[in-house]
Amino acid sequence: MQANTNGRTSSCTPDPCAHPLTAAAPWEDERTWLFVEQHANDDPTRLLLGSHAGFDLRFAVAQIEGRQRMRSKLPTLSTVPRFVFPPKLNCEQCSSEATAAYKASLLPIGGCVADLTGGLGIDTYHLARRASTAYYCELNSTLHDTAAHNFALLGQTNITTACTDGLAWLKANEAQPLDMIYADPARRDDLGRRVYAMEACEPNLVPELPWMLQRAACILIKASPMVDIADLLGRLPSVAAVHILSVGGECKEVLLELRAAAEEPQLHIVGLMPDGGIRFHLTTTRQAEAQAEVRFAASVSRYLYLPDAALLKGGVFRSLSAWYGVEKLDRNTHLYTAPHHVADFPGRCLEVVETVALHAKTLRTLLPEGQAHVLSHNYPVGADALRHQLRLREGGDLYVVATTLSGRKVGLLCRRK
């Protein structure tokens, strides 16, 4: 065991490629941070071509690039002086502050949590802010040392780190009571290709779940946004809830909440703002969705509604009609319409200008500048190909929507509400 800079304990297998937490670590060099501060908004590629003897230039440039790339994903942490960012791929894979804060809300205040796949430590940090004690496990020693530095920098002293395999740590610490076990398995294979099935992720948690459920009241697993939710619910034991999170209208995470006494799984569909605020939080079940009354439109009314990506992922197409009093355009068209404006609809709203023929000559009259956003929903031609057919440039204030209404292919000219 070795002591960390803030009094925590950490066990770690040496990695010759890692930067140890000593004076030799690049983040301990004052010249590094002076360079980062002076060139915060400069082009990282150009900076690498310069000659700056005496400190680790590549590390310094990586910190500049990390701050520039992560401003929207980590709006608070990217402004913290001396916060260390890992390589680009690890930055891409880490959770955003918004989704990490939501996960933390699922942990009882004062609870004890173990993060088995710590990575950059964004999730661990947010969980620890709510917990009494948090454990961070990460097999990659460079990531481990980076996260340990950041935890100390942020003053989060209730985190104990271990540079080890998370499952091995869990088995070796059977006496440690836990309220939550969190894991975000790596979703890339040995060749760096993306994988989506949980069994293809590393570590494969599926065969481990029965004994893990005996170790903690809650198991929280981050799955791929592309995962087949219905398939998972049919195969995994004790799924109490599925949390589908979007940020800025884009589906970012699918979280599986497992509990030993789980009954019918709840679907939590949550739209988050980049700062962690909640735009909407809708809760239902698959059975309630199947029984929900849906109304289909015979014609398009004044307003057209496009559901948030999290709702599409959750498949709550019938419930939307019942919840918000809107009509669905077609059984397989996940667009809705209403004569009135639904201010709290969880998605985008367009105002319909008129129904149009989807022909280049017709649209040239209506769009003399030859510019509009083109959307294709349940239509045989995709948006890019249709834009080319209609000879339109992307942009402007108007939208051309190609879709299916009551079995008929239609075109709609709309503007953003």
- Each residue's pLDDT expressed in tens, for the chain with a length of 417 residues: 333 333 334 445 444 334 444 446 888 889 999 999 999 999 999 998 877 768 899 999 999 999 999 999 999 999 999 999 988 878 888 899 999 999 999 999 999 999 999 999 999 999 999 999 999 999 999 999 999 999 999 999 999 999 999 999 999 999 899 999 999 998 777 667 777 788 888 899 999 999 999 999 999 999 989 999 998 898 888 999 999 999 999 999 999 999 998 889 999 999 999 888 999 999 999 999 999 999 999 999 999 999 999 999 999 999 999 999 999 999 999 999 999 999 999 999 999 999 999 999 999 999 999 999 999 999 999 999 999 999 999 999 999 999 999 999 999 999 998
Q: Give the integer Cα–Cα distance in Å for 271 and 252.
A: 10
Numbers of helices and strands, H then E, in the chain: 15, 18
Q: How far apart are CA 190 and CA 89, in angstroms?
A: 14
Residue 31 and residue 404: Cα distance in Å, rounded?
61
Give the pLDDT confidence score for residue 235 in this predicted structure.
Answer: 86
Contact 1, 10 (CB under 8 A): yes
Instruction: Please give the structure tokens belonging to residue 74.
Output: 């980590």
92-284 belongs to which homologous superfamily?
Vaccinia Virus protein VP39 (3.40.50.150)
The pLDDT of residue 6 is: 35
- Residue 248's φ and ψ, nearest 5 degrees, are 60, 30
SS3 of 282, please?
strand
Domain 19-91 is of which CATH architecture?
A: Orthogonal Bundle (1.10)
Tell whether the torsion through CA atoms of 12, 18, 23 and 28 is positive or negative.
negative
SS3 call for 23: coil
What pLDDT is stored for residue 191 in this prediction?
65
Residue 4: which H helix or E strand, with range? Answer: none
Q: What is the pLDDT of residue 50?
A: 78
Predicted pLDDT at 184:
94
- pLDDT for 25 equals 84
Does this chain's domain 19-91 share its CATH topology with 92-284? no
pLDDT attached to residue 100: 97
CA distance 314 to 368: 39
- Residue 213's nearest CA partner among 243, 168, 252, 258 is 258
Alpha-carbon distance of 283 to 263, in angstroms, equals: 15
For residue 329, the surrounding DSSP H or E stretch is strand 327-330
Per domain, the residue ranges of the chain are 19-91, 92-284, 292-416
What pLDDT does 54 receive? 81
Q: Is the dihedral of CA 389, 394, 398, 399 positive or negative?
A: positive
Q: State the pLDDT at residue 187.
A: 78
CB count, 10 Å around CB of 167?
A: 19
